[in-house]
Chain A
């Protein structure tokens, strides 16, 4: 039974209509909903008067395409949800860190990004804070050893710290400490003018520029009641699929590189570059910066550019097919990928995983299908899944998605609907409203949840990158595996540090 306020992707609802429940009722509702197959899209706090924080949960019923918003007012602490609802574990740690509210009874209450609280309600003094203090988990034993890696890595890799408890080659436990890329994105989105906000949104995760700016614009457009032309929607969909294509090609190539299969690594790396170059043709930047703007797109796609892009994509398709045939049909490749970093469908549900990681465990979660927006309401992309939940399955899901994104682009680009590329946005947003903008980025669900204040200013801008859900999956997939498999396992997830750290 639903107790929250029902809403849909990118519809704004009045903030006062979001039920404010007693904390026990709020807990029950979230625990029951997730127990019945629901999913936590986001759970966060916002200051709500002196010494008070409002907890807000956005839940998804993916089968019905519905979202649910509910809230509760808490003071300095509340009974944690995590013991009964594991998928809230990182959200509750985040609430503790951002708002200074203690989820009592949380089994793993450690810092998430290591910064002083930035959403503290008025009247609460911040506790003393030490950036370096982090209580590591340790397993003691004469035959056990500990391996620490990072934050500065051996290659060109974003900073993060991985600490293994190992018995010989076997990993018993992996603890992942992040926050090194923290830049204070949410506070900046709440305080900077929109003209600057769009550049920050494009810089949440540099390899998911389109995904995040699409969600950022989607939220603004919902709050401003702006309708985009069918043409703008289609161009934005094409940009998002190009981003997915480039990233998946790069990921499969990186997996090939990691298992020393050089021909596929070289070809796929080059094809990734070709897709980035197509984004540059459209937008002037290899990651599509500057293209997606509130109300539509800053650049139109003229017919000759669309035709040239399709011709180049056809070549990418032909080359990819050859490279993929060679790579995926190779026994030694399969032998190396099978059984590495296995996740189960039930583990996936418990942790609330998203994107190709979930789909590789046969969980058909995809915002484009479950909560479609823009062009995806008309042009359906079938959801790709695989069964095994291992590195091989994660590669196969990407392969299928590469094929389907190519089909989508080759179909859409020559037949872009008419319309103005960009609609004007009013100066003011609707006051006292809440909206949820979801996007299926190439790593999975990107969520921006926005609450406006009484004057239409931004009261809270909550960003949830798919990596925020999925880093736990990497930690869960390693125990029992060999420490030497870590680089490969890590590549098979390819999570974002910047997207997690904000």
Chain B
């Protein structure tokens, strides 16, 4: 027992100082893509459809697309993920009653609906000692009745659509919907298939889109904290 305590003390804290200290991502990390040269008239980038694969960069005409190590990607709207310049507005924080209700304590129910399991692995990682999402008052709960909103991952395939709708209905109003990953936003790598869906269906309005395949845990955390108004540093330009 003493040995264990000593081990614990010796080790110290593991939690990343976030927000604040930005972690160093390795050079090869594929965060926000940009077009070179950026600009008018060129093709638009859709982060909701992007799978953040190196093949997408090589498939583009000579050097046009490249990935930066910028991990902050979330948007409040679907259109907000489409950019001609590579610039992204920071998602607007909740205001008024929603902010008062959820800003310091947000309980979420996870609905996995036709995914590969990758996005859930990163949601689970948010609970570990390194990312420790609970310190911001954000937690996953065991019942939709206890939840303030749902986090959807996966393509929302025919086999899960009814379960998603029922879970959404069971969450009391006001409720948030957060779509995590390319699959939940638009079907991801499976979007051509008849047995996969194309993301959260129109009847379920999404409050926050977090792109990635899967998004890095800090990409998810950053999106959540901006939604809750816990990061308002304006580092991503005008709020929109």
Using CB atoms and an 8 Å cutoff, list the residues of chain A in contact with chain B: 113-115, 118, 131, 151-159, 179-185, 187-188, 191-192, 195-196, 198-200, 202-207, 209, 263, 266-267, 269-270, 273, 276-277, 280-287, 289-290, 293, 298-299, 322, 326, 496-499
The answer for the CA separation of A20 and B183 in the assembled complex, in Å, is: 41
Name B112's contact: one of A159, A284, A299 (CB within 8 Å).
Answer: A159
Report whether A156 and B124 are in contact in the complex, using a CB–CB cutoff of 8 Å. Answer: yes
Q: Which of B76-84, B158-166, B225-233 contacts its partner?
A: B158-166
Given contacts A159-B163, A192-B192, A152 and B26 within 8 Å (CB-CB): no
On chain B, the residues within 8 Å of A293 by CB distance are 55
| Identity of the chain A residue whose Cβ is nearest the Cβ of B193 in the assembled complex | A184
B102 at the interface (CB under 8 A from A): no
Given contacts A158-B115, A188-B190, A286 and B120 within 8 Å (CB-CB): no
Report whether A282 and B28 are in contact in the complex, using a CB–CB cutoff of 8 Å. Answer: yes
* Interface set, chain B 19-71, CB cutoff 8 A to A: 25-26, 28-30, 51-55, 59, 67
On chain B, the residues within 8 Å of A158 by CB distance are 112, 115, 117, 120
A and B contact pairs by CB, cutoff 8 A, 23 listed: A131-B159, A153-B110, A154-B142, A155-B124, A156-B140, A157-B112, A159-B163, A180-B112, A180-B114, A181-B117, A185-B190, A188-B190, A204-B116, A263-B8, A277-B26, A284-B26, A284-B28, A284-B54, A285-B29, A289-B53, A289-B213, A290-B54, A322-B7
The answer for the CA separation of A205 and B117 in the assembled complex, in Å, is: 6
Report whether A182 and B117 are in contact in the complex, using a CB–CB cutoff of 8 Å. Answer: no
The answer for the CA separation of A322 and B11 in the assembled complex, in Å, is: 12
* Interface set, chain B 118-149, CB cutoff 8 A to A: 118-125, 127-130, 140, 142-144
Name B189's contact: one of A118, A199, A267 (CB within 8 Å).
Answer: A199
The answer for the CA separation of A326 and B10 in the assembled complex, in Å, is: 15
| Identity of the chain B residue whose Cβ is nearest the Cβ of A188 in the assembled complex | B193
On chain A, the residues within 8 Å of B154 by CB distance are 181
The answer for the CA separation of A204 and B118 in the assembled complex, in Å, is: 10
B112–chain A nearest beta-carbon distance, Å = 5
Name A182's contact: one of B26, B53, B109, B157 (CB within 8 Å).
Answer: B157
| Identity of the chain B residue whose Cβ is nearest the Cβ of A499 in the assembled complex | B117
B211 at the interface (CB under 8 A from A): no
The answer for the CA separation of A202 and B214 in the assembled complex, in Å, is: 11
On chain B, the residues within 8 Å of A180 by CB distance are 112-114, 157, 159-160, 163
B140–chain A nearest beta-carbon distance, Å = 6
Given contacts A183-B195, A184-B194, A284-B29, A270 and B115 within 8 Å (CB-CB): no
Main SS class of interface, A:
loop
| Identity of the chain A residue whose Cβ is nearest the Cβ of B51 in the assembled complex | A199
The answer for the CA separation of A328 and B30 in the assembled complex, in Å, is: 38
Using CB atoms and an 8 Å cutoff, list the residues of chain B in contact with chain A: 3-4, 7-8, 11, 14, 25-26, 28-30, 51-55, 59, 67, 109-125, 127-130, 140, 142-144, 154-155, 157-160, 163, 167, 188-190, 192-196, 213-214, 216
A-B contact count (CB 8 A): 182
On chain B, the residues within 8 Å of A131 by CB distance are 158-159
On chain B, the residues within 8 Å of A282 by CB distance are 28
Name A496's contact: one of B8, B29, B117, B213 (CB within 8 Å).
Answer: B117
On chain A, the residues within 8 Å of B111 by CB distance are 152
B184–chain A nearest beta-carbon distance, Å = 13
A292–chain B nearest beta-carbon distance, Å = 11
Report whether B112 and A281 are in contact in the complex, using a CB–CB cutoff of 8 Å. Answer: no
A349–chain B nearest beta-carbon distance, Å = 29
On chain A, the residues within 8 Å of B110 by CB distance are 153, 155-157
On chain B, the residues within 8 Å of A287 by CB distance are 118, 121, 214
Report whether A203 and B116 are in contact in the complex, using a CB–CB cutoff of 8 Å. Answer: yes
The answer for the CA separation of A258 and B12 in the assembled complex, in Å, is: 23
On chain B, the residues within 8 Å of A188 by CB distance are 190, 192-193
The answer for the CA separation of A282 and B27 in the assembled complex, in Å, is: 10
A152–chain B nearest beta-carbon distance, Å = 5
The answer for the CA separation of A497 and B11 in the assembled complex, in Å, is: 36
4 A-B pairs with the lowest CB-CB distances in the bound complex, closest first: A206-B118, A184-B195, A154-B142, A284-B28
B75–chain A nearest beta-carbon distance, Å = 21
On chain B, the residues within 8 Å of A179 by CB distance are 159
Task: Taking A182-B114, A202-B53, A266-B14 as given, write out 11 further A-B residue pairs in contact, using a Cβ cutoff of 8 Å, ordered by the A residue number.
Answer: A131-B159, A158-B120, A159-B160, A188-B193, A203-B188, A205-B116, A206-B115, A206-B119, A282-B28, A285-B29, A299-B28
Given contacts A199-B189, A285-B52, A326-B4, A187 and B118 within 8 Å (CB-CB): no
Name A184's contact: one of B26, B51, B112, B190 (CB within 8 Å).
Answer: B190
Report whether B189 and A326 are in contact in the complex, using a CB–CB cutoff of 8 Å. Answer: no
Chain A CB within 10 A, most for which of B28, B29, B122: B28
B158–chain A nearest beta-carbon distance, Å = 6
The answer for the CA separation of A195 and B193 in the assembled complex, in Å, is: 16
On chain A, the residues within 8 Å of B53 by CB distance are 199, 202, 289-290
Report whether A269 and B128 are in contact in the complex, using a CB–CB cutoff of 8 Å. Answer: yes
The answer for the CA separation of A281 and B26 in the assembled complex, in Å, is: 6
| Identity of the chain A residue whose Cβ is nearest the Cβ of B26 in the assembled complex | A281
| Identity of the chain A residue whose Cβ is nearest the Cβ of B158 in the assembled complex | A131
Report whether B29 and A280 are in contact in the complex, using a CB–CB cutoff of 8 Å. Answer: yes
On chain B, the residues within 8 Å of A182 by CB distance are 114, 157, 159, 195
Given contacts A159-B163, A188-B193, A206-B214, A280 and B26 within 8 Å (CB-CB): yes
Report whether A184 and B189 are in contact in the complex, using a CB–CB cutoff of 8 Å. Answer: no
B139–chain A nearest beta-carbon distance, Å = 11
On chain B, the residues within 8 Å of A154 by CB distance are 142-143
The answer for the CA separation of A240 and B80 in the assembled complex, in Å, is: 37
Report whether A203 and B112 are in contact in the complex, using a CB–CB cutoff of 8 Å. Answer: no
The answer for the CA separation of A427 and B189 in the assembled complex, in Å, is: 22
Chain A CB within 10 A, most for which of B111, B115, B122, B158: B115
On chain B, the residues within 8 Å of A195 by CB distance are 55, 59
The answer for the CA separation of A116 and B180 in the assembled complex, in Å, is: 28
Report whether B112 and A155 are in contact in the complex, using a CB–CB cutoff of 8 Å. Answer: no
The answer for the CA separation of A115 and B154 in the assembled complex, in Å, is: 17
On chain B, the residues within 8 Å of A280 by CB distance are 25-26, 28-29
The answer for the CA separation of A266 and B111 in the assembled complex, in Å, is: 25
B212–chain A nearest beta-carbon distance, Å = 9
The answer for the CA separation of A285 and B214 in the assembled complex, in Å, is: 9
The answer for the CA separation of A273 and B216 in the assembled complex, in Å, is: 12
On chain B, the residues within 8 Å of A152 by CB distance are 109, 111-112, 144, 163, 167
On chain B, the residues within 8 Å of A266 by CB distance are 14, 128-129
The answer for the CA separation of A270 and B217 in the assembled complex, in Å, is: 13
The answer for the CA separation of A58 and B159 in the assembled complex, in Å, is: 30
Given contacts A284-B30, A286-B122, A200 and B143 within 8 Å (CB-CB): no
